[in-house]
Structures are given as C-alpha cells and as structure tokens.
Structure 1
C-alpha cells in the first residue's frame, strides 16, 4: 500500500513537471495547437487523479492498518495521508487565489467598456458588444452570458468578411473554453515558479489558444479573410505576433469554405 501511495504522488509530480516541457519543446504544437492543448489538459487532470488516488489510498491505509502492519509503516501511512490532504488543500487554495484576480479583471474590463458601448446585439446566449475606440480591439468574455467585444476601429479597418472571421476567432475562444485553459496554465505556472518550463509555459499556452482559435475561424470563415484581417490589425497595432499568425495561415492548405460552415450565431451577429 505504501509503495502504491508513493508511486501515485511521484507520478503526479512528474506529470506536473514534464507536461509543460512537452509543450515548450519543438515546433509540432504550432501545427496542431488543439491537439497540444488537449494533451496538456489530459496530463493536468491525470496528475490530479494521481493525487486523489494517493490521498484516498493513504487515508484508507491509515484507517485500515492492522496488527500485521508494522508501527513504522502505520506511521508512514498516516503521515502520507496528512501530507496528501495538505497538498490537495494547497491546490484548492491556489486555484481560488489565482482565479479570483482573473475574474475581477474581466469584470473591471467590462465595466470600463459599458459607458462607451454603441450597441449590444444579442443572439441566443451570446452578445456582440460594439464600442467606440481608436484602437483596434476584439476580445471574448466568457461567462453565463458570454460576450464578444468589437471596437469601432476594427470595423473601420476591415471588410465585412474579415470582421466575420475575427468574430469567428473570438467565438472559437468561447466554444473551446480557452478562458479555463489560461486559468489552469496560470496555476500550473505558479507551481513551476523559478524553473525553466514555468517561465516558458504561460506564453506557450497563450500562443496555442490563439492558434487554435485561428484554425477554427479559418475553417469556418476562410483562412484568407482571417489572414488579411490579422495583417491589417497587426500593422495598425504594431503587433508582430498577428503578422506571424497571418503568415502561418497563408502557408497551410485549407478546405474550401462555404457560408454554411459558419455557426448560425456568427451569421446572425456579424
């Protein structure tokens, strides 16, 4: 029993340390960003399962220790049980502490944009919020009633087809739950503070969620429209990353796009 518990905790630690390394080495993730994100999600939750398995095993082992088990092993099982509870409690506390500032930041961002919103167009649970700004800004805000924000500068710079591609990109963030990916990445990064994978991990996840949303929007609204939109917005904002993402889209082959491939919600609000 004791060896099983130690194996579970060791596997959990190894998963937490090695999965970021896999996502920060090489360039394969750039071609298959959604697969990379799915693999990392799987590794993260597998690590949690290892912790839970070790915790349950240590508690049951300490409770069910019989006379056949030596006093030393009984003490080790008890210590492992308390240690597991401490680790699990620390993870819960870390999640609470790290998620709360992100939620508050989203609330502050929304409150700041409400006074300058020019229109709010709702379709189903999703709302498109247009607001006045000289900066080209577009982002998605998850929640019970998700919203996509689009500045007037974006609409002045882009054609209707390009705007539709941008909205498809933001809608992909909502549909693929990228907000949770960034939150969990933040937690994983805090666990790896001071180590090389931790420093490279957060930027890697941020890039992967953008590429995954690019791929989804390219399939639905057309890679050419999205690439042109990214190029224009990149030049207007000075964001070199947008230009690189546009180059990536133009270098790949994409299936022919039909208007029927667009989600109905985007066809209505774009």
Structure 2
C-alpha cells in the first residue's frame, strides 16, 4: 500500500470509527477533558490525513506532467503493479483530471470552512458588542447585567469582544455563593477558549456534513466543555452551590446561537454527574485505554508513512 492509499483509507476509517469509540457511555462522566482531547486529536489527524493525501496527489501530478512520467504516476498512485500500462495521452488526461478534481474539492471545502468560521466569529462579536451596549456593568469588569424575566447566565466571545451576561432574574434568584459558582463556570469557558473550539467543530460539521466524525464532534464537544467548566467551578466553590445554581437556571429561555451557558447544554447529565461523589481513583482502565488510543491515533500515520518510504 502506498502513502496516498494509506492516508485516504486511514482518514475514512477514522471518520467513521472514532465516533463509536469516543461517544461510548460513561467516559464523559469521569474525564471530559480527556474526551475533548480525543475528539480534537481524531479531527486533527483525519484532516491531516486528507490534506496530506491531497498534497501528495497534487505535487505528484504536477511533477508527472512536467517530466512526462504520467503513466508511471498513475500506476503508483493507484497502488498497482508496473505490469499495468496506459497510453501517454490517456495517462495525461487522467492525471490532469485527478489534479483538477483534487484542487476543486480542497478549495470548495476550504471556502465553506472559512465562511462558517467567519459567520460564527461575526455573530459572536456582534452579540458581545450588543450586550455591552444594552446592559449595565457590575463590579466585575467582565460581567454585564441585562433586564430579563428569565434566569440566564452565559458568556460570549468573538473578534476580541467578550462578556459574561447575567439576567436580572438570575441575580434575584441566585445567592452570592451560587452566583460566584456560575461566574467561575463562565470564566472557565473564556479562559479555556472554549468558544474557539465550539466554533471550529461547528464550522467543520457545516463544511463536511457527510463525515460522521465532524457531525458527532459538533454534538458531543459542547457538552464535554460544559463539564470541563463545571469541574473548574466545583474545584473553587464546591459541587453543591453549582448544582443548586444549575437547577435554578435550567428553566431559562433559549440562548443566542454561539453562546455557552451555565444551564444551556446537557443540563441533566451534568447535574447527575455533579450529584455523584467524586471518584477516589482518578485513572482507570478505560481512561488509560483511551489515552493510549489517542496516542496511537497520532502516531499511526507517521509510522505507516515511514514504512511506505522503504
């Protein structure tokens, strides 16, 4: 198997098999950060494999046309034996068609990805600017209060503008300890750049909707990041205040698209997770297995390409 064939097969297998491994029951309740790492590594490795295969095809096709070695290029690209022979004119047409198709697919996908990222960035920036205009700042410089009858707290970031938005109803409902836990949750989102991660996986799902890996990541990663922010807030303020705040805020109205909210995503799963006692053993067999699988996902293309070179 040559390098191009391996990269394509590997990317296809990863795109279809990784969701079944990463979306397994129970893992997120223990180590959501590890799961987020797994999703991002799978996405990055799959994209690198696709891009690597496309780059090898483009470079090889251009070289074949320039050096007039198109029959050899066709045979090597398809992984066939040198017993297969193509007329020079036919091989040239095949190579040029392959080159044009590869470039067209890459450019079309890149255009859709960039457009989706820009839409998300502009929408979040406009919303962050708007809430700072209509809301009022409190003692915390990153918190904006807006008048609303529904209790809601969320953060939004985009284009250099960022804000934690709390409605007046949420302020009336939450006690000081609960409010501090909610604010710690939102600050964990901003500090960890979770908006960028959610925006990227959402844009990839929009640009590559037929790949199960991208669709599944767009559904799973936001909830996992909420759990990561829950852990950060619970370490500082305890589980009970955060659990109580989630219960109080879970009746809030639907949030603006692109916002990350304390009670906006996978609320029931997160409440059940917070209600469980903290695990004494931080790492178990499943976590070690997942960690090894993540490492193998990264190393497999490099090892295979090294073997293909010999």
- Calculate the TM-score normalised by the size of structure 2: 0.68
Cα deviation, residue 38, structure 1: 0.9
Q: Which residue of 2 aligns with 1:128?
A: 143
Q: Which residue of 2 aligns with 1:230?
A: 246
Moved more, 132-141 or 188-197: 188-197
Q: Which residue among 259, 273, 278 is the counterpart of 1:253?
A: 278
When residues 13 and 183 of structure 1 are mapped into structure 2, their CA distance, relative to the original with a 3 A threshold, is farther
Q: Which residue of 1 aligns with 2:123?
A: 105
When residues 115 and 192 of structure 1 are mapped into structure 2, their CA distance, relative to the original with a 3 A threshold, is closer
RMSD: 3.2
Q: Which residue of 2 aligns with 1:4?
A: 3
Correspondence 1:85-104 to 2 at 5 A: 85-104=103-122
When residues 243 and 59 of structure 1 are mapped into structure 2, their CA distance, relative to the original with a 3 A threshold, is closer
Which is helix-richer, 1 or 2?
A: 1
Q: Which residue of 2 aligns with 1:158?
A: 174
Q: Which residue of 1 aligns with 2:298?
A: none
Moved more, 142-151 or 232-241: 232-241
Moved more, 3-12 or 182-191: 182-191
Gapped regions of structure 1 (runs ≥ 5) = 256-270
Question: C-alpha offsets along residues 199-240 of structure 1, whole Å, 9 cap, x if unaligned?
Answer: 655332232121121112111222222112112222566979
Contact 2:144 2:166 in 1 (8 A): yes
The structure whose RCO (Cα within 8 Å, separation 6+) is larger is: 2
Q: Which residue among 207, 212, 228 is the counterpart of 1:212?
A: 228
In 2: Cα distance, 1:15 partner to 1:121 partner? 48
Contact 2:61 2:95 in 1 (8 A): yes
When residues 63 and 69 of structure 1 are mapped into structure 2, their CA distance, relative to the original with a 3 A threshold, is same
In 2: Cα distance, 1:195 partner to 1:242 partner? 27
Q: Which residue of 2 aligns with 1:53?
A: 52
The total of aligned residue pairs comes to 251
Q: Which residue of 2 aligns with 1:37?
A: 36
Contact 1:219 1:254 in 2 (8 A): no
Q: Which residue of 1 aligns with 2:206?
A: 190
Larger radius of gyration: 2
- Calculate the TM-score normalised by the size of structure 1: 0.77
In 2: Cα distance, 1:18 partner to 1:161 partner? 43
